Every structure is written in C-alpha cells, then in structure tokens.
Amino acid sequence: MRMRTSLTLTWNRAVASVTSEPATVTSATTGSSLALTFGDLSTTAGATQRVTVRLG
C-alpha cells in the first residue's frame, strides 16, 4: 500500500496572487508570504512544478 504524501512550501515574500500553477497544487495562500501545498507528487517522476506569481 502506497501512502499519499504532500509537500508544503513557504516563501517569505509578499505575493499578491498566483497567476499560474500546475494541477498538483492543492492550496495556495498569498499575502505577506506565499504558502503552496502540493498534493501527491509520486506520479510526476521528479518533473519541474512551475508556479508563476505576481509580487505584491
């Protein structure tokens, strides 16, 4: 049985909005910092997960 995992990344920089994100992003919180949560990445084979933001 394979366990589902997630990854949360926090960037301590003001972000106004996320303008582009892959389907693997399950949550994006903007404001004085950016918090991105990625769902199960086990099927991506290590591929780049590109996110585009507008700084605020």
pLDDT tens, 11-38?
999 999 999 999 999 999 999 999 999 9
Whether 17 is covered by a domain: the verdict is yes
**pLDDT the model gives residue 2:** 61
**pTM recorded for the entire structure:** 0.86
pLDDT band at 1 (very low <50, low <70, confident <90, very high): low
Whether 48 is covered by a domain: the verdict is no
Whether 33 is covered by a domain: the verdict is yes
Whether 56 is covered by a domain: the verdict is no
Whether 2 is covered by a domain: the verdict is yes
Whether 6 is covered by a domain: the verdict is yes
Whole-angstrom distance, CA of residue 20 vs CA of residue 14: 17
φ, ψ (nearest 5 deg) of residue 3: -85, 135
Count: domains in the chain: 1
